[in-house]
Amino acid sequence: MPSDGDILDCLIVGGGPAGLTAALYLARFKRSILVVDSGSPRAAWIPTSHNIPMFASGISGTEIIERARDNLEQYGRCIESGTVTGLRKQPDRFIALLEGNGGGTRQISARRILLATGAVDIEPDLPNLPNAVQRGLVRYCPICDGYESRDKKVAVIGYGDHGLGEAVFIARTYSRDVTLLTLGQHMHLDPEQQAKIDEHGIKVMDAPVESLDMEGDRISAIHLNGQEHRFDVLYSALGLKYRSDLALSLGAEHDSKGSLLVDHHCQTSVKGLYAAGDIVRGIDQIVVGMGHAALAAIHIHNRCELPTEDEPGGA
């Protein structure tokens, strides 16, 4: 672990698949690094992902993270639990303010920063059922596990372009029995949107959810307008809240929703500040985030001002 006087080659903020992949690359490049993990990766909410190569029967998000941490440990202890609450940029370094999970704060200096802080799914407002996505009662990634929902009765909780887009994706890919639950939000459909709904046979229910029936650890029925509706699978498609405040505080370019814009090395508009994973505008997939991390880590190493320990002049 770095002392207060050390200057890291790279501080990685976020301990999910993207952050841990970047750490693995940089550790193998013999760079001095620290991963700050707040302990709330979005990937941990995935019960089973079936599109991670090499795992034919699928793998849970928590197991992906555990395997990545175990792999990284062979290169030394470089993960610390805590939260980076502030970033400042100086001519030759960044200064991060770290709050440890056990209390206390300290400053960390780093020549480069890689943000892998991800995003948080907007939770559906369901009666007496808070945090349904985090608890695994409602799924959020049909790309990850939609194949297992093929030909089943699927409900998509959402509205607007995002909710309709996910309903269309599932209907054209996996199931012809898809219902869009708008939670009381009236859908003002233009002719193109109505044509998509008609083409794929999507049912739209815009009444608020009155109550839910539970069977064990699953939602067995939803009640709207006094009627019971049963579905095999529920997906939430209410969008994301991006954890991009640190980057925005430094003036990094972003889209209207707060996701970060990066170049082909995954560097933001702030020189030396990189981003990987769900925080980056684009497709939210674990393998994509790992790819971001690899690109960023290689660029960080190649642009690092100081030699590694084995190079001439190295420590």
For residue 162, tell me if it sits in a domain. Answer: yes
Question: How much is the pLDDT for 128?
Answer: 80
Q: Do 115 and 248 lie in a common domain?
A: yes
315: confidence class by pLDDT, cuts 50, 70, 90: very low
Specify whether 213 is located in the same domain as 287. no
Domain boundary among 236, 268, 292: 236
Question: Which residues are CB-neighbours of 229 under 8 A, at least 6 positions away?
Answer: 155, 179, 205, 221, 222, 223
115 with 245, same domain: the answer is: yes
pLDDT in tens, 235-259: 999 999 999 999 999 999 999 999 9
* Residue 137 binned pLDDT confidence (cut-offs 50, 70, 90): confident
Enclosing domain of residue 255: 8-120+240-303
Q: Do both 128 and 116 map to the same domain?
A: no
Structure-block tokens of residue 35: 């991963």
Looking at the fold, whether 116 and 244 belong to one and the same domain comes out as yes
26 shares a domain with 115 = yes
CA 241 to chain centre: 10
Shared domain for 155 and 178, answered yes or no, is: yes
For the whole prediction, is pTM greater than 0.95? Answer: no
Q: Looking at the structure, tell me whether residues 70 and 81 fall in a common domain.
A: yes
Q: Is residue 309 part of a domain?
A: no
Q: Residue 83 half-sphere exposure, CB side, CA atoms within 13 Å?
A: 12
Q: Give the mean pLDDT of the chain.
A: 91
In a domain, 93, yes or no: yes
**Within a domain: 310:** no
Beta bridge partners of 274: 114, 267
Q: Are residues 163 and 105 part of one domain?
A: no
- The tens digit of pLDDT for each residue in 203-213 reads 999 999 999 88
Task: Establish if 314 belongs to a structural domain.
Answer: no
* Whether residue 61 sits in one domain with residue 138: no
Residue 3 forms part of a structural domain: no
Number of domains in the chain: 2
Q: According to the model, what pLDDT value does residue 310 have?
A: 53
pLDDT over 90 at 175, yes or no: yes
* 311 part of a folded domain: no
In this predicted model, what pLDDT tens digit does every residue of 15-67 receive, in sequence order?
Answer: 999 999 999 999 999 999 999 999 988 888 888 889 898 999 999 999 999 99
Q: What is the pLDDT of residues 76-116, one digit of tens each?
A: 989 999 999 999 999 999 999 999 888 889 999 999 999 99
How many percent of the chain have pLDDT more than 70? 95
Q: What is the CATH number of the domain that holds 171?
A: 3.50.50.60
Q: Report the 3 state secondary structure along the chain.
A: CCCCCCEEEEEEECCCHHHHHHHHHHHHCCCCEEEEECCCCHHHHCCCECCCCCCCCCECHHHHHHHHHHHHHCCCCCEEEEEEEEEEEECCEEEEEEEECCCCEEEEEEEEEEECCCEEECCCCCCCCCCCCCCCCCECCHHHHHHHHCCCCEEEEECHHHHHHHHHHHHHHCCCCEEEECCCCCCCCCHHHHHHHHHHCCEEECCCCCEEEEECCEEEEEEECCEEECCCEEEEECCEEECCHHHHHCCCCECCCCCECCCCCCECCCCCEEECHHHECCCCCHHHHHHHHHHHHHHHHHHCCCCCCCCCCCC
Cβ pair 79, 69 in contact under 8 A? yes
Select from 217, 235, 45 the least CA-distant residue to 124: 235
Task: Tell me: do 24 and 82 sit in the same domain.
Answer: yes
Q: Which of 202, 236, 270 is the last residue of a domain?
A: 236
* pLDDT score of 314: 44
Residues 86 and 140 in one domain: no
Write down which residue in 208, 236, 264 finishes a domain: 236
Let me know if residue 308 belongs to a domain: no
Which distant-in-sequence residues (6+ apart) come within 8 Å of 311 by Cβ?
none
